[in-house]
Structure 1
Amino acid sequence: MKVKFFCALYLLVAMLNAHVFAQVSTSSITGNVTDPGGAVVSGAKVTARNEATGITYEMNTTSGGTYTFSSVTPGQYAVTVSKPGFRKFTSVHNILTVGVPLVVDAQLQVGAASETVEVQSSYERIETTSAQVSDIVPENDIKNLPLNGRNPLTLLTLEPGVVQRTNNAAGSDTHVFGSRDRAHNVTIDGIDANESTVPNPQGNIQRLTPDNVQEFRTVTLDATAELGRNSGANVMIATKPGSNAFHGDVYWFHRNTALNANEWFNNYTNQTRPTLRLHQFGGDIGGPIVKDKTFFFFSYQRSQIFQTEPVSATNVGLLGAPVLYTPTLLSNGLFRLVLGTISLNGKTFTQNSPGLVDSSGNLLPGVPVCGGAVTGNCLDTYNIFDPANFPAGVTGPDPTIMAALKTLPAPNGYNVGDGVNRAVFNWNPPSKFIGPGYLGRIDHTFSPSDNIFGRYLQSYYNTELGDFLNARPEVYPGFPPLGAVGRIGKNLAVSWRHTFNPNLVNEFTFGFNRFRFNLIRVLAT
């Protein structure tokens, strides 16, 4: 019985460890310490200090001359190594990034401990601790590279091996070295941040901004065990903490129709330029609450976007746009069809075609019309409103149906459909996106052995006046849209790092991720 109990306990712990290790938001600092002859130096005191916050970690090298600081938050660190009989070694401006160890080796020189050898950025630039293929997008790139909509995760598409293609919203459309477009995993500060049905690494369901992301790493191949949940992109995002200096920004980004060119297909079909009025404004601030111990960071952004989009891009209608009856058929009941074969302008038509009419739906010159002596190879007409053609028991078109059909606009796209009885209505239906989002984070150091941080992220991104992405636009002017969408995201992360001894460090992280997606039906008023 005891054996079964301990086996069950072991399996439970193993599963919990696997779950915890799969959530990565920190990294480690490691290295070897040697003397001038290359022999290892054991018992040397090693100190790693975060240059922005002043938080310090200390330990002694092992008997093999190595040291490792585990579960350390990303940032810029100074590493100091000292031991009696040797000069003090200091390496500054070493950049620790999320998910990949920072390797800083030290070779001590014989001399007095009061003497210091200082070097800058002596860390290894080439990944030597694992075979995984990954890349870091640092804060400077996130802030300075152009972003459409201020979504920092769009930079993922610049990574080698990442291919993006359109797929009519049937998946995330992002493939990494041939993986499925749903085989991705995104974490924020070690907490899951995926949309459960279609995990899209660029979807940014929690509405992160360039101002609250410190950096993110994308692992695209040969992920290590703690990242091996998915075969596609494994994206690890680290949010920005506060520091010993106060920093803040206030911003407003604006785009409008006057700055945009019309789309090629709109020009081809004589459609107007889509409207765009985009406002994204907000700010962020961070700094110390207690210097070298407690720090805060807060960011806020609100989006107010009004835009129109070609209805052909919203996936409504059987032919790529709403299909309507031509006025000749709807008003006069004249159903037209090709009888035999019609030759026109070097082309042959055996059935109805947009090639028989001009852009206004009028028959092109030279199209033979059946009647009189012309009985074949012509365009024939059948009057469905003629009482002589009514089936038995039918007295005419249903007045309710006819009244409903006549409330619809006349078609304006005769290049789609059969040209003579059916055409489409092209226009730019509207949509409106409203969304405030905010992030708050607190970091606190109790002692060199204990530090903790908590971060909460919440965002709204609601679509009004119709939703393009989910094929719920306003199909015709003046009609209610097929629907609207309400989106709310919440993400919490709390992490506590405790050092039991130089060889044993525990990081306990918990949190939750929630993304609520409401499809709202809009009723006519």
Structure 2
Amino acid sequence: MNRACQTQVTIIDLPTITQRARKRWVIFAAASVVILALAVPLSAQTFRGNILGTVTDPNGAVIPEVTVTAKNVGTGIERSTVTDSSGNYTLAELQTGTYVVTAQKPGFAKYQIDNVVVEVTSEKRVDVELSVAGSEAVVLVAPAAQVETTTNTLGGTISTKAVADLPVNGRDFTKFLVLVPGATGDPSGATDSPGSFGLFSANGNRGRANNYLLDGTDMNDGYRNLPAINEAGVFGTPATILPIEAISEVAVLSNFEAEYGRNSGAVVNIVTKSGTNEFHGSVFEFFRNNALDARNFFNPKPDPQTAFRNNQFGGSLGGPIIRKRTFFYFAYEGQRERVGLNSTARVPDPREIAALGGTTNPVIARLLARNPWPAPNRPLPLFDDTGTPNLFVTTRALNDVDSMIGKIDHSFNEKNQLTARYFFGNSNQSFPLAILAGNVLPGYNTVTPTRVNLFSISYLKLFSNTKVNEMRFGYNRFDEGFFPEDQNFDPRTIGLNTGIVGSQDFGLPFIRIRNDPVGSIASIGATLSVPRARVDTNWQAIDNFSWKLDRHDLKFGYEFRRTFVNAFFDAGYRGRLDFDSLADFLSGTLSGGRSARGDSRRGTFQNSHAGFIQDTFRWRPSVTFNLGLRYDYMGVIAEERNRFSNFDPASGLVQVGTGGLDKLYNSDWNNFSPRIGVAWDLTGKSKTVLRA
């Protein structure tokens, strides 16, 4: 998680890299060279699944050299392999979906099992018992629910049917994530659960310790480590939306194998739908309108009913471009939300201003000409000091979202397949009550434009029936800013100079009248936490290679990830002006205030590497050992112009690149993660499995 992009980082310890650390890195690099010599380098996070099993005769003896074929029902694409000397077979990296599995060998009757459902990251076990030649062909239907018998991974999968059928507030996929065992979230469904600082917590980990993948490639905001799609803008509202119509299934994994890493929490692997040989589509609209709603308890008559209008609409279409070869899928979802937030306040009455002699300060006079406060609409005696509000006001808010996703799957032949996917999301939000005590009066909302781009491409190559390699590339760009609603107003045009130097910090200062005899007068100006903005860019190149050797299913791979965060955080740069009373405000007599200065821009980057090797060892048909070793190197966070500093007790604050400080902190070279697990099918009938 790259959080250093907007703050100075202070670290006291400044050790140098030891010879032992260098040696460990050299050893790992050498091991990586060996691995990469066997696998064309690039993810370890698959978005496909496997079918595996053992073929026996009626007496239970294993049968080698049986041809096992899996045919995707939707696309008609087939994949074949042969059993090894132990009768075992594995069909790795299959597209999720429903399959027909057949097994054939001369001298034996054909065996077929229908409705074999392959889910993301799953291993579907299909054991086969072949009858001798002359018997009738065997045709079975796989059970709808089957216990996974070969892995020790915990968590669960949210199926296509669950995604389609479950009612989800706001059509936000993140609400699904607490449906699996071990996952908990904020009961209110807010974006950042209190105490967790994330969407949900898996097995007690921090909410921002999860890793979000879309079709196996990075979907993380490099700054907050939340999903770039459906991450909140302002007011806790998702800024973009992954169309529910495009989600095939979601796997939420914990206690995962060596191919997964980077985070201590869960891996959330979302797989999008693909086209098939038949055209399928949908059109929808969901709406909510206050005309159909009861009044809020805090919105009684005679005040106007709070406005609420929300429309979510869209559609999807998928099908063949070339039957049994090339397929497409496209989905769009839009949202138009118009709401009102009612509040009461005490504002200056024009009669009170006149009674105080009007303004004597030309800057304040020009400010009042802009009508910074709404006119009071609840009559009160002049200078009433009972604390009763004289204004009921509705502040308008909006949320406009457009999100779309497209996917192409192409099969050159049985041994070469290509998948490409692109997501684009764009939104504009404007809400009051922003973070850090935002203003409730109209005109001072926080405006949040957000744009998200995600692209991935995957190339699957079958070298033989036992060797499969997949290269994958991912690109993820999250662009979001928080600005005052009056960001086009230059206060210098009315003679108010708070020291701003550019249009980036335009907008009225935050103005408070704190100790007036009538009580608290509503402040004007947007929250001091804005403006701020960031662009997070992630590049990912990954490769995994699967190799079946008798009872061993080997898998190894390498991942490179580069994260760049270009940001500024001009909190307080617009300034705050304090006045003791309305009379002091009219005369321009300040009682205090503050204004931040300096260059808050940061361009931080981090290069990270990972490698893994794992072995799924079928010791017996009912007992599987899962062994693995993963190495992660999280690169040192750096800044493009060395605008980081560190605190040295002897020298004080030292800027990176000066005083012998060549980098922000010491490299961490020892992130080796061994894995060992076992799955024991107690009955041998896929009914009860013990995992450890």
Q: Tell me if both proteins adopt one fold, taking TM over 0.5 as the criterion.
A: yes
Question: Quick one: distance in 1 between partners of 2:302 and 2:182?
Answer: 39
Distance 1:294 1:112, change over 3 A: farther
2:472 corresponds to 1:476: no
Under a length normalisation based on structure 2, what TM-score does the superposition of the two structures give? Answer: 0.57
Q: Which residue of 2 aligns with 1:209?
A: 243
Which residue of 451, 454, 458 corresponds with 2:420? 454
Q: Which residue of 2 aligns with 1:120?
A: 141
Q: CA deviation at 1:435?
A: 2.0
Q: Which residue of 1 aligns with 2:341?
A: 309
Given residue 143 of structure 1, which amino acid in structure 2 is its aligned partner? A
Aligned pairs for 1:178-193 (under 5 A) are: 178-193=204-219
Q: Which residue of 2 aligns with 1:247?
A: 280
2:519 corresponds to 1:486: no
Q: Which residue of 1 aligns with 2:399?
A: 433
Distance 1:67 1:245, change over 3 A: same
Q: CA deviation at 1:155?
A: 1.4
Question: Quick one: distance in 1 between partners of 2:359 and 2:251?
Answer: 68
Distance 1:263 1:23, change over 3 A: farther
CA contact (8 A) 1:26 1:99 kept: yes
Q: Which residue of 1 aligns with 2:271?
A: 238
Counterpart secondary structure, 1:11: helix
Which residue of 92, 99, 104 corresponds with 1:70? 92
CA contact (8 A) 1:137 1:217 kept: yes
Q: CA deviation at 1:427?
A: 4.5
Q: CA deviation at 1:294?
A: 1.0
Counterpart secondary structure, 1:309: strand
Q: Which residue of 2 aligns with 1:275?
A: 307
Please list every run of 5 or more consecutive structure 2 residues that lacks an aligned counterpart in the other structure.
Answer: 1-24, 232-239, 490-692
CA contact (8 A) 1:283 1:299 kept: yes
Question: Quick one: distance in 1 between partners of 2:339 and 2:433?
Answer: 10
Given residue 25 of structure 1, which amino acid in structure 2 is its aligned partner? F
Distance 1:79 1:396, change over 3 A: closer
Q: Which residue of 2 aligns with 1:263?
A: 296
Distance 1:468 1:440, change over 3 A: farther
Q: CA deviation at 1:519?
A: 2.2
Given residue 58 of structure 2, which amino acid in structure 1 is its aligned partner? P
What are the Cα deviations for residues 393-429 of structure 1, in whole angstroms up to 9, with x where unaligned?
Answer: xx999786698599455598x9xxx983586966542
Question: Quick one: distance in 2 between partners of 1:235 and 1:424?
Answer: 50
Q: Which residue of 1 aligns with 2:411?
A: 445
Question: Quick one: distance in 2 between partners of 1:31 and 1:424?
Answer: 76
Distance 1:175 1:32, change over 3 A: same
Aligned pairs for 1:24-423 (under 5 A) are: 24-112=46-134, 115-122=136-143, 125-165=146-186, 171-200=197-226, 204-205=230-231, 207-219=241-253, 221-267=254-300, 272-310=304-342, 324=346, 404=368, 407-408=373-374, 410=376, 420=386
In the comparison of the two structures, how many residue pairs are matched? 444
Question: Quick one: distance in 2 between partners of 1:203 and 1:71?
Answer: 26
Q: CA deviation at 1:331?
A: 6.4
What are the Cα deviations for residues 106-138 of structure 1, in whole angstroms up to 9, with x where unaligned?
Answer: 11112238x410000158711222222221111
Question: Quick one: distance in 2 between partners of 1:500 and 1:246?
Answer: 32
Q: Which residue of 2 aligns with 1:369?
A: none
What are the Cα deviations for residues 74-132 of structure 1, in whole angstroms up to 9, with x where unaligned?
Answer: 1001110111121111111111000111111111112238x410000158711222222
CA contact (8 A) 1:274 1:308 kept: yes
Counterpart secondary structure, 1:157: helix
Q: CA deviation at 1:481?
A: 2.6
Q: CA deviation at 1:518?
A: 2.1
Counterpart secondary structure, 1:459: strand
CA contact (8 A) 2:48 2:94 kept: yes
CA contact (8 A) 1:485 1:517 kept: yes
Given residue 256 of structure 2, which amino acid in structure 1 is its aligned partner? A
What are the Cα deviations for residues 339-368 of structure 1, in whole angstroms up to 9, with x where unaligned?
Answer: xxxxxxxxxxxxxxxxxxxxxxxxxxxxxx
Please list every run of 5 or more consecutive structure 1 residues that lacks an aligned counterpart in the other structure.
Answer: 312-320, 334-384, 387-394
Q: Report the identity percentage.
A: 29
Question: Quick one: distance in 2 between partners of 1:168 and 1:428?
Answer: 25
Q: CA deviation at 1:153?
A: 2.9
Deviating more after overlay: 233-242 vs 295-304: 295-304
Question: Quick one: distance in 2 between partners of 1:255 and 1:400?
Answer: 45
Given residue 470 of structure 2, which amino acid in structure 1 is its aligned partner? E
Question: Quick one: distance in 1 between partners of 2:166 and 2:156?
Answer: 16
What are the Cα deviations for residues 62-83 of structure 1, in whole angstroms up to 9, with x where unaligned?
Answer: 1111111111111001110111
Distance 1:48 1:411, change over 3 A: same
Distance 1:235 1:10, change over 3 A: same
Deviating more after overlay: 280-289 vs 53-62: 280-289
CA contact (8 A) 1:324 1:411 kept: no
CA contact (8 A) 2:69 2:103 kept: yes
Distance 1:106 1:424, change over 3 A: farther
Given residue 475 of structure 2, which amino acid in structure 1 is its aligned partner? F
What are the Cα deviations for residues 149-183 of structure 1, in whole angstroms up to 9, with x where unaligned?
Answer: 22233111333332222689573252222211211
Question: Quick one: distance in 1 between partners of 2:453 and 2:291?
Answer: 36
CA contact (8 A) 1:135 1:217 kept: yes
Deviating more after overlay: 449-458 vs 131-140: 131-140
CA contact (8 A) 2:182 2:202 kept: yes
Q: Give the structure with higher Rg (CA).
A: 1
CA contact (8 A) 1:472 1:483 kept: no
Given residue 317 of structure 2, which amino acid in structure 1 is its aligned partner? I
Question: Quick one: distance in 2 between partners of 1:396 and 1:48?
Answer: 83
Question: Quick one: distance in 2 between partners of 1:406 and 1:494?
Answer: 52
CA contact (8 A) 2:53 2:127 kept: yes
Q: CA deviation at 1:5?
A: 8.8
Question: Quick one: distance in 1 between partners of 2:359 and 2:306?
Answer: 42
**In angstroms, what is the RMSD of aligned CA positions?**
3.7
Question: Quick one: distance in 1 between partners of 2:377 and 2:249?
Answer: 50
Distance 1:411 1:177, change over 3 A: farther
Counterpart secondary structure, 1:245: coil
Counterpart secondary structure, 1:457: strand
Q: Which residue of 2 aligns with 1:363?
A: none
Under a length normalisation based on structure 1, what TM-score does the superposition of the two structures give? Answer: 0.74
Question: Quick one: distance in 1 between partners of 2:298 and 2:40?
Answer: 51
